[in-house]
Amino acid sequence: MRVATSILRPFWGCVDDSISALRRALNEVESIVTLTGAGISAESGIPTFRGKDGLWRKFSPQALATPEAFRRDPKLVWEWYDWRRCLIQKAEPNGGHYALAELARRQAARSGSFTLITQNVDGLHDRAGSQNLLKLHGDIWLVRCVGCGKEQCNEEAPLKELPPRCDCGAWLRPGVVWFGEELPRGVWERAVEACSRTKIMLVIGTSATVYPAAGLAKVARNAGAQVAVVNPDPSGIDDLADWILRGLSGEILPRLL
Ligand code: BV8
Ligand code: ZN
């Protein structure tokens, strides 16, 4: 019966030992997978979804992040996404984003593999220099035509016209995955594949409540990987964890380097 190697409560002493233990382990393994959620962008000023001033507290996902909501009132949905784009454009990546980009560089330097899987649509990982991201839920800076299906990058914030239109005249929708919509095919398969062959999985800043993303830690665990959780609060996958680092990812991740 595999015993969680160390469950840490917020006694900094313990966090230190566990960070050094995890840092050592990360320097030895050939493959690392990380899964991030809204929590990694919280210290950049982007509200999380379920946090105390989270997006889902003020706005209902059903009313704004579903194809039905867009069909019902595309202008309302775009007002929400335009507001979030303006917020994100003013934000900067934080120490957590940069630490993961550096971890990937170090893994590459020792010809190990590093896969960054994110539920975030904010693009802050890209701006921190991370490459070959697996964006499970799309990208808020992409727009897709509901008529001709053309997808393009659009970083205009605020948008001049809501809803924005495609050259073909049809409306554009945000390039994100809404509830009830399938995750981007290749991206999901590659995420599952990476989790099923990794040695360590870091799960950072997610409540692990949205599926199928929340099921990836179990895929890794069942394949024999060790799982480390970085989150100031309990999350849906703590029981799968070998390490629980209770703290802010912007403070903890740089200390893994
Ligand atoms: C699908 C894009 C099928 C849009 C998003 C199984 C069981 C139950 C339900 C389902 C199931 N399978 C499917 C479902 C339905 C649904 C679902 O999961 N519902 C939930 C609510 C129960 N899933 C779907 O609909 C998915 N699609 O299943 O399609 C299908 C198959 C074939 C063909 C057709 C259809 C699609 C889900 C994707 C939805 N889109 N985002 C947008 O952003 O507007 S989800 C969105 O919410 C985010 O992307 C993210 O995934 C989720 C929010 O979760 P988190 O990121 O974890 O954020 P949260 O606020 O919850 O937590 C933040 C955490 O950070 C907290 O724990 C906090 O403590 C911590 N934290 C805070 N500060 C810090 C920190 N951590 C570290 N440092 C800090 N500083
Ligand atoms: Zn079009």
Question: Catalytic pick from 85, 97, 135, 137?
Answer: 137
**Per-residue model confidence (pLDDT) at position 154:** 98
Kindly give the distance from the C-alpha atom of residue 165 to the centroid of ligand 2, in angstroms, as a whole number: 8
Q: Are 60 and 228 in contact (CB under 8 A)?
A: no
Residue 33 β-bridge partners: 115, 201
Q: How far is the C-alpha of 173 from the C-alpha of 143, rounded, in Å?
A: 6
Residues 6+ apart with CB under 8 A from 149: none
Tell me if 37 CB under 6 Å of ligand 1: yes
Q: How far is the C-alpha of 219 from the C-alpha of 193, rounded, in Å?
A: 9
Tell me if 49 CB under 6 Å of ligand 1: yes
Atom of ligand 1 nearest to the CA of 212: 12
Give residue-wise pLDDT tens across range 167-219: 999 999 999 999 999 999 899 999 999 999 999 999 999 999 999 999 999 99
Give residue-wise pLDDT tens across range 22-59: 999 999 999 999 999 999 999 999 988 877 667 766 67
Using the predicted structure, report yes or no on whether residue 88 has a pLDDT greater than 50: yes
Q: Are 243 and 22 in contact (CB under 8 A)?
A: yes
* Angle at 248 (CA atoms; ends 245, 253), nearest 5 degrees: 70
Q: Are 246 and 8 in contact (CB under 8 A)?
A: yes
Closest ligand by atom to 81 CA: 1
Tell me if 54 CB under 6 Å of ligand 1: yes
Backbone angles phi, psi at 7, to 5 degrees: -100, 125
Which strands, in side-by-side order, build the sheet including 138-145? Answer: 151-153, 138-145, 172-176
- Is the peptide bond prior to 212 cis by the omega test (within 30 degrees of 0)? yes
Kindly give the distance from the C-alpha atom of residue 211 to the centroid of ligand 1, in angstroms, as a whole number: 6
**Per-residue model confidence (pLDDT) at position 49:** 80
pTM score of the predicted model: 0.94
Using the predicted structure, report yes or no on whether residue 79 has a pLDDT greater than 80: yes
Tell me if 39 CB under 6 Å of ligand 1: yes
Closest ligand by atom to 169 CA: 2
State what percent of residues in the chain have pLDDT above 70: 93
**Catalytic-residue membership of 97:** no
